[in-house]
Structures are given as structure tokens and as C-alpha cells.
Amino acid sequence: MNDNSIWFGRAGSLRKLWDPTGGVLATRERETSVFTNKSGGVRTIKALEGARQFSLNYGALGRASFEYINQFVQGHMGPGPFVLIDPGRRNMLTVNQSAATSQTGDTRGFVANASGSSLASADSTWGGLPKVLTWSFATSAPSSPTLLLSKPSNVTGWLGIPVLNRAHTFWCTVVGGPIDVQLRLDWYNAAGLMSSSTGTTVTTSTTLPKRVAVQNVIPPAGALWVQCYVAPISGTVVAGESLSFLNFMLQEGDQPDGSWVGGTGVYPVTVLGMPEKYGFAEPGMLVSPTLTLQEVR
């Protein structure tokens, strides 16, 4: 079952926020410059990445509810950054990861660990996204080969992708080989790696893209973060073979969604503010407060 609630707080101590009266404004702004050239034409430059600013508008909040958020505004919970889990972001991976290198045309966000292997971004011949991530193997049966989808942020203490105690599913579409492939989720608490969960092994095809998944996995007790891996079975890898990944998706739920959607990453947030306004005769009720949060890298 999917959780459509908004969760916010310190890692390991998240709290469900109240449903905003007017919804959530969460536009991911990518800075765009527009200029005119000498011939009268118009050109634009758009930033590769963007950052969301979240505005949660409430018609009213009781004093106790307001004070919980105000702890973060005023510094009682430390400087942050903090965790926001937003149900509006279905795919929890970054743009380049979810789109299998189509954003940047390079392999940032992916790390291969296999002797003699290499990663590349290549033009897709399968339709849909313009690029695929290609993992090529120069040696047979490399020892414990893995492909890591890097954590989205290098902020101190941000150990992966933040998770709730809900079922999660990680899946991708892959073609090539034929190689036996499985996916893996590594779970972390504040002290480090706790355990791993692996999915069903799928034998890839050179002519037909196949879906591979590790699904319906509930994090172990105490897990705060997850990291995603592709883990081919070493003995099925032959020198000269390659795997091409068409897309990736990490989502909440007990099985893959019917269709892929792009992700923009789950990043730390900091609190910009929450104005405090209350009636003179009713100081226990806050009037039309708006909580503003900003993604940081």
C-alpha cells in the first residue's frame, strides 16, 4: 500500500505533517536565461539541475501543531538539513539515474565495481528515453560485480535515500547479455550498513528488454536509508558482453508501477521560515501559516 502522507523531521524521527489546505507548491526551478543575438534570434540557457522550494499552506494550525514545526524554524532541532518525504515524487532516484544517463549524456550517478568493466552513455535504439546506460565487460566471471546508484547528496550524515517503514520496490528495464541479473537494496542506520535485500534473478536477452525488480521489501527495524545496486551473477558474465539499461525506478509499494516515471532525487531540506500570526483574543490558534522548505545539495 502506498503512503500518500507528507513526512518531515530529523532522520530516524520523522513525523507525518498535516494535510495542507491548498496543497503543496513544489516547483523544481531550473534557472533559465533568455538573450537575443545580433540577427534578432532568441537563445536560451537552462541550468542542468534545479532545486525545489516547498510551500505548505495551512488555513489554521493549533498551537501544539505549530510549535512542532517551529522547533525546526527557530533552531531547537539543530541546523539541519532535514528529511522531507514527499508523496508527489513517485520515483526517488535522481534525474540522470532514473533516465539512465539521458539528462547529462554521461555516467554521473553510477559507479561500477567489476574488474575490466566500463560504463558509458549511449544512444538508445529502443525508443522512449534518448540514452541508455551501457555496462560493458572485458573479462569473464568478474568477482562480485555490482553497479551502484550513488546517493543523491554528499551532505554530512546523508547516507543514502531516506526511507519510511513501508514496502519499497526497485526496478529497471535492461537488455543485453545474456546475463543473469538481480537487483539489491542495502539498508543503513546511523551507524552504517545493516542488511541487504535481493530480488528474483532474471536472464537478460539481447533482443528483448526485460524488467528486473526487487519488490515488496520492508526496511529492517531501525533502517533510515537505502542504496540501490544491480548485481549480475558473476558466473554468467562472458568477456565482450554488455548490459544496456533503459530506465530505473525506486518507489514505495509492493510491486512495480504500471509505467515508469522520472525522478528528481530526494535531497536534504532546510527550513526557510513559517510566519507566526494569531488572533489577539485567540493566541492558541495560528492563522494561515505557510511552511517554506528549500532543497539543498
What pLDDT does 280 receive?
A: 66
User: Which residues contact residue 18 at a Cβ distance below 8 angstroms, ignoring those fewer than 6 apart?
Assistant: 58, 61, 65
Strand partners, 271: 293
Residue-range domain boundaries for the chain:
7-88+267-295, 95-252
Residue 229 in contact with residue 213, Cβ under 8 Å? no
**How many of the other CB atoms lie within 10 Å of CB of 239?**
12
Range among 17-31, 75-89, 226-240 rated most confident: 226-240
CB 85 within 8 A of CB 252: no
Cis previous bond, 178, omega within 30:
yes
pLDDT digits (tens, 9 = 90+) for 160-181: 999 999 999 999 999 999 999 9
Contact 269, 80 (CB under 8 A): yes
DSSP code at position 219: P
Tell me the HSE value of 206 on the side-chain side, using a 13 A CA sphere: 5
Cell 534557472, located at residue? 31
Pick the closest to residue 54 from 261, 277, 297, 269 (CA basis). Answer: 269
Least confident of 165-174, 181-190, 192-201, 280-289: 280-289
- Kindly state the helix (H) or strand (E) to which residue 183 belongs, with its residue range: strand 180-189
Under the banding of pLDDT at 50, 70 and 90, the label for residue 63 is confident
Residue 142 in grid coordinates: 568478474
Name the pLDDT band for 2 (thresholds 50, 70, 90).
low
pLDDT tens figures, 66-102? 888 889 999 999 988 899 998 888 999 999 999 999 9
Q: What is the pLDDT of residue 3?
A: 65
Q: What CATH superfamily is the domain 95-252?
A: Galactose-binding domain-like (2.60.120.260)
Greater confidence, 287 or 273? 273
Euclidean distance between CA atoms 245 and 134, whole angstroms: 6
Q: What is the pTM of this model?
A: 0.92
Residues in the chain: 297
Under CATH, which number does the domain 7-88+267-295 receive?
2.40.30
Give the pLDDT confidence of 99-121 residue by residue, as tens digits.
999 999 999 999 999 999 999 99
Average confidence score pLDDT of the chain: 92
Distance CA(148)–CA(171), nearest Å, equals 13
| Helices and strands in the chain, H and E counts | 2, 25
Amino acid at 100: A
Task: Quote the CA–CA distance of 140 and 138 in Å, as a whole number.
Answer: 7
- In three state form, how does the secondary structure of 106-135 look? CCCCEEEECCCEEEEEEECCCCCCCEEEEE
Q: What is the largest CA-CA distance in the chain?
A: 77
DSSP 61-108: EEHHHHHHHHHHHHTTT-S--BEEE-TT----S-HHHHTTTTTTSS-T
CB atoms within 10 A of CB 59: 11
